[in-house]
């Protein structure tokens, strides 16, 4: 983790959890090469408990107790797409509901409620204690054996009919149970034992040894429960977790199950509190930087305690390894704690010649780790590591985001949390693959849409140098779908917001917070009052970063817009709804705030699907026969089409470039994602992505790369040139490049040389008539040759090309390889229109986890090893069997073609 603030920022305010003594100030010293604390002295243990789970869908038929969090209103299914680009929703379903377990779960959030008078008292009793699934003696041998992270819905089958498109047509709703035994050593008697869950979808309830411990409703947040009162040291302890994801609870695919990592943390009763450090930096220069650390210590012992805390700081590499000795140290401070209370301490030090964190390619994402050690009577009782970065961050209304003195335009994308065919289940390799592809396109910023991400994703953005907009809520009090999180907002918005911000505070990649996305409160009523309430909580947690809500309808002069530190606009800046760009209107009303597009474009396309006629404008809505095919439910890949509320990249950039104070954009979206499949809600996945669900770039990828990486010499031609039956018909040709001149040739005949016009972002020859052969484009920049590309009419496919993205993978059951399949003709050229079925088989110590092709209309379940090509391409995702070594051979077969084989090594870490 890591965090630093602008040298111009105000002093960080520290907020304490619970009752404790006033803050203690550390002395400040600078030191070099101070010895590290020995790892053997550390008393804290954090162990993965992802293995060994049993899983079952549904509650026991014999259960006599109601296990719901609360009784929800009666569900009335609505037509698909009714929630898309939602406006005001009525609040009738926010009426008082009958509580079942609600009053028992609410106290789980007490640590994040600032006012002690508002914290919850748990009632007497043990709800659920009579249910078979929570009992230690229940036989779960017939249940499914699973390893976490686990998404129970991603295997399908898809729901072909009915109004389920918004949530991805996968059965993610309903109750599900997880059971696992925990062996707690007798030596842990007297220690604190915590269950740490990075994410579970949703309304989680936890029992240990038949006793209700607590839970957490919001499916995207990370949370902790104290298991200590329920643990039996020296034996096996039965853990049971029930989830109950509601129907109509999301506008996209939420996933189902415990879909992120789960940990067991043991510590001395006196320990650094959960997410109990905050690191900020100031006065940052090449010569030095001041580092401040705020520390919260928790005492769960039956008696008071006096401890000594000190912190050493080390430089670390991308693998978190320390680079030599300590570069600075915060001197020891004595802290006194009452039984059951907390206390805080803060201190500063100086790092000389700091290694600054900043975004590539002009800066490097260097990081540090602060190692905090607690001692009681000279004995180490806790060691806590905080990863952070040193950077100076400024938000200039006239220039935008400035990192370490350098202006950085936000070339960003929005990302939903699913990982395509793997679903919501977190996987390091799958997430890194996505980030690598985005970085290659020129992306330097990610917006987490619209919820807290997996903590490991922020570790990756820290290491890679992305700038992150961290977001917590999609709704507040007003709903977008009947059973979304508006149902719990009033009770849980403070714990949820504080939990996310404390968890993510120290990540250097996080440069801004979003507390809401297109919330219904924009429309009036008490919207501004709710915004101020949520904003106040966020500013209590962090005064060093800007806090905002993403707006899609709020007017520049509205009270709602005035609440936020920055103006984050979803499509409004480019003229959506008003038909005129509103960047200027917001600039006039808010001259002291940065302005950027938190969502831009919302373009639609299906990879490799070219439809005719091609309209002449720079941005067009999808209509039957113009951009959209009602028979196939595909959208044209000319990259000129967008949702009615959005616009093409071309339109978006023109609005930005005519308003040079705009700080940049987050495009909707980087990758296609499951659910929200507008404009065709009969499909499984979205059409918005610059990269499709399987990970194949659409043509739009090169349009963005040309803008965001203008020094890369390339030109990308579209469409392909395989249009048998269109001979003599108008078939426009477009070219994406950063060059400023281009000339197109069709079978050697020039179609004209063009110079780039003002506010034009592609070259286009709209009156080319199709004839088989080849099209070729030559480009120039500043009068010098730049790049060229030739696209030819291909012959029939003669062979299968299968390529793995990695030659070997680790046999830990987590590492993955992607095998990409295409068809080539006799010259080796890619055949772009083939949609025949292919089959994957595997030999050796591996398995095929999933297959996909990027087709949003494909309802074949992801685990299937038979998959149709979509416009000539498909993928298989391969995993090595845990602990097994040797070559893994993936064979690809298709009717009428010779087989192809690719080999991947399986090896130990």
**Crossing angle for the helix pair 700-708 and 649-657, nearest 10 degrees?**
20
Side-chain-side CA neighbours of residue 604 (13 Å): 28
Q: How many CB atoms lie within 10 A of CB 116?
A: 9
Please give the Cα distance from 238 to 445 (Å, whole number): 43
The answer to whether residue 308 scores a pLDDT higher than 90 is yes
Q: Is the pLDDT of residue 13 over 50?
A: no
Sheet holding 715-718, edge to edge: 715-718, 733-737, 763-765
Say what the pLDDT of residue 361 is: 97
Q: Is the predicted pLDDT of residue 351 greater than 90, yes or no?
A: yes
Report how far apart, in Å, the C-alpha atoms of 642 and of each of 620, 636, 648, 652, 690 are: 6, 10, 6, 11, 12
**Average pLDDT of span 257-283:** 98
Query: In the numeric block, which tokens belong to residue 903?
Result: 């080999």
Question: Is 12 a residue whose pLDDT tops 80?
Answer: no
User: How would residue 161 be classed by pLDDT, with cut points 50, 70 and 90?
Assistant: confident
pLDDT band (50, 70, 90) for residue 909: confident
**Tell me, what DSSP letter sits at residue 230?**
G
Residue 382 neighbours by CB under 8 Å, 6+ apart: 42, 43, 44, 267, 268, 270, 271, 272, 373, 374
pLDDT of 525 higher than 90: no
pLDDT at position 570 over 70: yes
719 preceded by cis ω (within 30°)? Answer: yes
User: What digits encode the pLDDT tens for the residues 631-684?
Assistant: 999 999 999 999 999 999 999 999 999 999 999 999 999 999 999 999 999 999
Whole-number Å distance between alpha carbons of 450 and 414:
9
Q: What dihedral angle (degrees, nearest 10) is formed by the CA atoms of 382, 383, 387, 390?
A: 100
Average pLDDT, the chain: 92
For residue 750, how many other CB atoms are within 10 A of its CB? 10
Residue 301: burial class (beta carbons within 10 Å; 0-12, 13-18, 19+): middle
Please name every residue paired with 322 in a beta bridge, in sequence order, or none if there are none: 316
pLDDT in tens, 206-225: 999 999 999 999 999 999 99
The percentage of residues in the chain with a pLDDT greater than 90, rounded to a whole number, is 89
| pLDDT for position 89 | 53
* pTM of model > 0.85: yes
**Confidence at 620, pLDDT banded by 50, 70, 90:** very high
Q: Evaluate if residue 432 carries a pLDDT over 50.
A: yes
Please tell me whether residue 404 adopts helix, strand or coil conformation: coil
Distance CA 88, CA 519 (A): 9
862, pLDDT greater than 90: yes
The size of the chain, in residues, is: 909
Residues with Cβ within 8 Å of 549's Cβ and at least 6 positions away in sequence, in order, are: 514, 515, 516, 517, 519, 531, 560, 563, 564, 568
> Which pLDDT score, from 0 to 100, does residue 577 have?
61
Conformational region of residue 854, where left means phi above 0, alpha means psi within -120 to 50, and beta covers everything else: left
Residue 291 to residues 82, 376, 395, 739, Cα–Cα distance (Å): 50, 25, 20, 45
Say if residue 580's pLDDT is above 90.
Answer: no
User: Is residue 715 over pLDDT 70?
Assistant: yes
User: Quick one: pLDDT band at residue 576, thresholds 50, 70, 90?
Assistant: confident
Q: How many CB atoms lie under 10 A from the CB of residue 238?
A: 20
pLDDT at 9: 27
Q: Which tops the pLDDT comparison, 21 or 252?
A: 252
Residues noted as catalytic: 518, 599
Helical H segments across 186-256, by residue range = none
| Among 94-108, 122-136, 580-594, the least confident range | 94-108
Question: Which tens digit of pLDDT belongs to each residue from 546-557?
Answer: 999 999 999 999
pLDDT at 18: 25
What's residue 552's pLDDT?
Answer: 94
pLDDT at 23: 35
Give the confidence band of 83 by pLDDT, cuts at 50, 70, 90: low
Segment 443-496, tens digit of pLDDT:
999 999 999 999 999 999 999 999 999 999 999 999 999 999 999 999 999 999
Q: Collapse the DSSP code of 134 into the 3-class scheme (helix H, G, I; strand E, B; otherwise coil) and give the result.
A: helix
User: Do the beta carbons of residue 708 and residue 442 sit within 8 Å?
Assistant: yes
- Work out the average pLDDT over 219-245: 97
CA pair distance 277, 12, nearest whole angstrom: 13
The values of phi and psi at residue 458, to 5°, are: -70, -30
Q: Give the range among 49-53, 184-188, 505-509, 850-854 with minimum mean pLDDT.
A: 184-188
pLDDT confidence of residue 578:
61
- At residue 32, the pLDDT reads 28
Q: Is 520 helix (H, G, I), strand (E, B) or coil?
A: helix
Q: Calculate mean pLDDT across residues 180-201.
A: 96
- Rounded Cα distance, 146 and 53, in Å: 5
- Asked if residue 391 has pLDDT above 90, the reply is yes
């Amino acid at each position: 983790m890591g965090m630093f603030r602008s040298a111009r920022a105000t002093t960080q305010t520290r907020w304490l959890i619970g009752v404790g003594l006033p803050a203690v100030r550390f002395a400040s010293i600078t030191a070099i090469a101070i010895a590290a604390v020995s790892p053997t002295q550390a008393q804290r243990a954090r162990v993965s408990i992802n293995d060994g789970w049993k899983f079952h869908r549904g509650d026991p038929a014999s259960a006599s107790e109601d296990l719901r969090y609360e009784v929800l209103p009666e569900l009335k299914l609505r037509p698909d797409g009714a929630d898309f680009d939602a406006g005001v929703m009525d609040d009738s379903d926010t009426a008082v509901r009958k509580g079942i377990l609600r009053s028992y779960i609410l106290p789980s959030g007490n640590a994040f409620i600032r006012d002690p008078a508002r914290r919850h008292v748990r009632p007497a009793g043990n709800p659920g204690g009579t249910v078979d699934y929570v009992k230690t003696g229940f036989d779960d041998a017939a249940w499914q054996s699973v390893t976490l992270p686990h998404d129970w819905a991603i295997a399908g089958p898809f729901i072909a009919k009915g109004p389920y498109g918004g949530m991805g047509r996968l059965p993610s709703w309903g109750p599900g149970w997880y059971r696992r035994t925990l062996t707690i050593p007798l030596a842990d008697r007297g220690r604190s034992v915590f269950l740490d869950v990075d994410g579970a979808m949703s309304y989680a309830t936890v029992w240990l040894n038949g006793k209700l411990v607590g839970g957490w409703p919001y499916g995207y947040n990370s949370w902790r429960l104290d298991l200590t009162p329920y643990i039996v040291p020296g034996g096996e302890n039965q853990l049971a977790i029930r989830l109950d994801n509601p129907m109509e609870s999301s506008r996209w695919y939420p996933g189902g199950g415990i879909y992120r990592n789960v940990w067991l943390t043991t510590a001395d009763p006196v320990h650094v509190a959960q997410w109990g450090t905050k690191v900020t930096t100031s006065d940052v220069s090449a010569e030095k930087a001041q580092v401040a650390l705020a520390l919260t210590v928790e005492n769960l012992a039956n008696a008071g305690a006096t401890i000594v805390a000190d912190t050493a700081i080390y430089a670390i590499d991308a693998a978190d390894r320390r680079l030599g000795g300590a570069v600075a140290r915060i001197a020891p401070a004595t802290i006194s704690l009452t039984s059951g209370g907390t206390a805080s301490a803060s201190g500063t030090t100086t790092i000389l010649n700091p290694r600054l964190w900043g975004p590539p390619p002009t800066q490097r994402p260097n990081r540090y780790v602060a190692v905090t050690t607690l001692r009681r009577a000279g004995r180490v009782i806790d060691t806590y590591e905080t990863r952070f970065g040193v950077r100076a961050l400024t938000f200039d209304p006239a220039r935008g985001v400035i990192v370490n003195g350098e202006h950085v335009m936000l070339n960003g994308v929005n990302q939903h949390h699913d990982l395509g065919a793997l679903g919501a289940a977190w996987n390091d390799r799958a997430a890194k693959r996505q980030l690598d592809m985005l970085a290659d396109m020129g992306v330097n910023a990610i917006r987490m849409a619209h919820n807290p991400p997996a903590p490991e994703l922020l570790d990756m953005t820290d290491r890679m140098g992305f700038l992150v907009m961290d977001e917590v809520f999609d709704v507040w009090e007003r709903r977008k779908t009947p059973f979304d999180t508006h149902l719990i907002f009033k009770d849980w918005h403070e714990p949820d917001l504080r939990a996310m911000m404390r968890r993510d505070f120290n990540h250097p990649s996080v440069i801004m917070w979003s507390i809401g996305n297109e919330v219904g409160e924009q429309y009036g009523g008490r919207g501004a009052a709710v915004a101020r309430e949520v904003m106040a909580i966020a500013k209590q947690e962090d005064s060093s970063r800007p806090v905002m809500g993403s707006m899609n309808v709020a007017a520049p002069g509205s009270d709602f817009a005035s609440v936020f530190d920055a103006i984050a606009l979803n499509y409004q800046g480019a003229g959506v709804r008003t038909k005129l760009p509103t960047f200027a209107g917001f600039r006039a009303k808010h001259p002291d705030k940065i302005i950027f597009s938190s969502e831009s474009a919302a373009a639609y396309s299906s990879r490799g699907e070219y439809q005719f006629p091609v309209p002449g404008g720079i941005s067009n809505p999808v209509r039957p026969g113009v951009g959209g095919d009602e028979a196939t439910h595909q959208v044209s890949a000319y990259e000129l089409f967008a949702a009615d509320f959005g616009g093409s990249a071309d339109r978006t950039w023109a609005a930005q470039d005519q308003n040079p104070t705009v700080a940049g954009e987050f495009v909707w979206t980087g990758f296609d994602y499951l659910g929200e499949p507008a404009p065709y809600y009969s499909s499984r996945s979205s059409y918005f992505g610059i990269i499709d669900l399987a990970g194949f770039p659409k043509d739009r990828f090169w349009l963005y790369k040309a803008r965001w990486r203008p020094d890369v010499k390339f030109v990308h031609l579209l469409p392909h040139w395989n249009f048998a039956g269109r001979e003599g018909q108008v078939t426009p040709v477009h070219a994406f490049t950063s060059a400023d001149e281009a000339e197109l040739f069709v079978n050697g005949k020039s179609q004209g040389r063009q110079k780039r016009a003002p506010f034009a972002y592609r070259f286009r020859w709209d009156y080319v008539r199709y004839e088989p052969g080849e099209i070729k484009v030559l480009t120039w920049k500043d009068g010098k040759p730049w790049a060229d590309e030739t696209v030819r009419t291909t012959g029939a496919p003669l062979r299968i090309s299968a390529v793995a993205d990695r030659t070997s993978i680790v046999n830990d059951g987590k590492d993955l390889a992607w095998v990409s399949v295409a068809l080539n003709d006799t010259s080796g050229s890619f055949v772009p229109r083939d949609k025949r079925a292919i089959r994957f088989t595997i030999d050796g110590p591996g398995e095929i986890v999933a297959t996909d092709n990027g087709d949003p209309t494909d309802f074949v379940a992801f685990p299937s090893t038979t998959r149709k090509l979509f416009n000539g391409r498909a993928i298989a995702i391969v995993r090595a069997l845990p602990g097994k070594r040797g070559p893994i051979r993936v064979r690809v077969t298709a009717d009428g073609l010779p087989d192809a084989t690719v080999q991947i090594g399986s090896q130990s870490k």
